[in-house]
Chains A and B, each alone.
Chain A
Amino acid sequence: MAKLILSMDGLVLKEIPVSKERMTIGRKPHNDIQIDNLAVSGEHAVIVTILNDSFLEDLGSTNGTLVNGQPIKKHFLQHNDVVELGKYKLKYMNEQAHLNKGAPQDFERTMVLRPGAAPRTEGARPASESQQMRTPGASQPMGVSQPSPALSESQALRAAAAPAAPAAAASQPMGISQQVSMSQPIGASQGVATGRPVQPAAIQILTGANAGRELDLVKPLTTLGKPGVQVAVITRRPQGYFITHVEGATFPVLNGKTLDAQAHALADHDVLELAGVKMEFFLKG
């Protein structure tokens, strides 16, 4: 379960588990998180949580809400985000994100979400709370594409495909969040689009009309040659650069040796010959 750490001037005041779908923050006492300070509005902001994802929304507060120093109206909270309301800070910690990195295989199983049917045991909530699964600012019920009668039950979303822990998941509506998870944000694990720590490299054309031209290998894959005649591809991988034959009757020649259909690793200053053109592969930087 995610939690919030309330602090002021670097002094930790309180640790608050994100235990409800909807947690209000404000100066007035009826808020789930009350911050009794005049810089905080009566109803300042709300955190809506759906399974493992939490969303922060400013409720039109007088002094606004900052996340990591930026003013926000609505924000999808990420692990370690710092929410500021006046002089107070709320740090959002999502343990799930942490735990998960250690044992991804147990957390990434695809599961089926079905409304209804699940027993409502200790986690049974007042029906009115099912309203709180609603999207802030949207009138559609969240998460479940069933008409509203099923909605109150939708709290108890159940995992149909977790034979390992079906009982646990069923008896504990939020138990599903233990099973389900989160893959690492695609941007983080995915160097392909953004540039992973692979040394930059380039191809320099040695012969033919384009002799002297240089081609930086910035994309995950770069094709070389003449379509319909002979084409090869250089792929940029975490382990380095590889050349593979794509089409044509002739295979690429690497340092005087003809390659087969398999991928071959490229080393600095390797000389390639493709469709009658010689070129050199070299690492940069």
Chain B
Amino acid sequence: MNLSQALEIATCTDPGMVRSHNEDSVAADASIGVAVLADGMGGYNAGEVASGMATTVLTTELQHLLASGEAPGMNGDGARERAESILRGEIAKANASIFQAAQSEPQYAGMGTTLVVALFYDNRVTIAHIGDSRVYRLRGDDLTQITKDHSLLQEQIDSGMITPEQARFSQNKNLVTRALGIDPTVDPEIREYETRPGDLWLLCSDGLNDMVTDEDIGMTLAALSSNLKLAAQQLVQMANDNGGRDNVSVVLVRVVRDYAAPRGLLARLFGWLKH
């Protein structure tokens, strides 16, 4: 099912005001309902290599899988399991590629990347994430943080040692507890959510949420939701105006309309009878 009529996507990525190069990487394909964002780490250009490999492997593999019709059953009750197993499989592939490159090329030793992937289907989205890149959802005027960082700071917050307010002043930022490509295997956190027409889903690297408060992110998205490209650029600009201390990347996905997957005749009949 081609989702390009149902989803509108805008991306923006920028090195920021301090760093000389951009280790973030973004990719999206509205027709198959995929958005990917990765924030790489490692010396020299290894961070870019890791995040670039992550987004490329995931989008091309998913394009191949979803466009060739090898992934049937993305509707009904089995869709969640199906989406989860697809993402788990493709993330494992990306992890293996990065890990292997890091093992075989000395200049890539130790490279890794965070990852967020959103896969949209049948009025739903399955989100997989690793590390401290985030997904937010704007529904109406409410901005909700969907993912929970895999970071030292988040663990400190969870254990009650530090409050979310104090966390802003922590000097232990930027320590992630999970990353793609640093171990032979990786454990992504994968969850499914329903989507509604009008929803705005935001994928971002920590260069955004470290520099711009959630309140300002929500206000910007709500004010500029009619111009997605401008909204994406505005978020990046705000991060830069506030210091731009890290690379900053955003992917915005707007649910333009309903995109329920076509169901079998029987299911449609049951659905019709229930109404």
Residues on A lying within 8 angstroms of B by beta carbon are 50-53, 55, 76, 78, 94, 96-97, 104-105, 108-114, 135-138, 140, 142-145, 160-164, 166, 180-187, 189-193, 219-221, 223, 227, 231, 233, 235, 237-238, 244, 246-247
Return the contact of A233 from the options B110, B173, B223 (Cβ within 8 A).
Answer: B223
Given A135-B161, A247-B226, A247-B227, the answer on whether A112 and B242 have CB atoms closer than 8 Å is no
In the assembled complex, B219 has its CB within 8 A of some CB on chain A: yes
Given A105-B19, A163-B46, A237-B237, the answer on whether A113 and B152 have CB atoms closer than 8 Å is yes
- Give the A-B pair count, Cβ closer than 8 A: 191
B41 lies within 8 A of A182 (CB): no
Among listed B59-67, B70-78, B164-172, interface-contacting one: B164-172
- Counting contact residues on chain B (CB < 8 A from A), the size range is 35 or more
A181 lies within 8 A of B171 (CB): yes
Return the contact of A112 from the options B169, B177, B216 (Cβ within 8 A).
Answer: B177
B166 lies within 8 A of A76 (CB): yes
CB neighbours of B170 from chain A (8 A): 53, 76, 182
8 contacts between A and B (CB under 8 A): A53-B171, A76-B162, A76-B166, A111-B176, A112-B41, A113-B177, A220-B220, A221-B223
CB neighbours of B238 from chain A (8 A): 192, 220
CB neighbours of B39 from chain A (8 A): 110
CB of A237 to closest CB in B, whole Å:
5
Given A104-B18, A105-B19, A112-B182, the answer on whether A97 and B171 have CB atoms closer than 8 Å is yes
Residue from the set B43, B161, B183, B210 with the largest chain A CB neighbour count within 10 Å = B161
In the assembled complex, B8 has its CB within 8 A of some CB on chain A: no
B245 lies within 8 A of A138 (CB): no
CB of B51 to closest CB in A, whole Å:
11
Q: Which 6 A/B pairs are nearest by Cβ-Cβ distance?
A: A182-B171, A52-B171, A163-B43, A247-B226, A135-B161, A189-B243
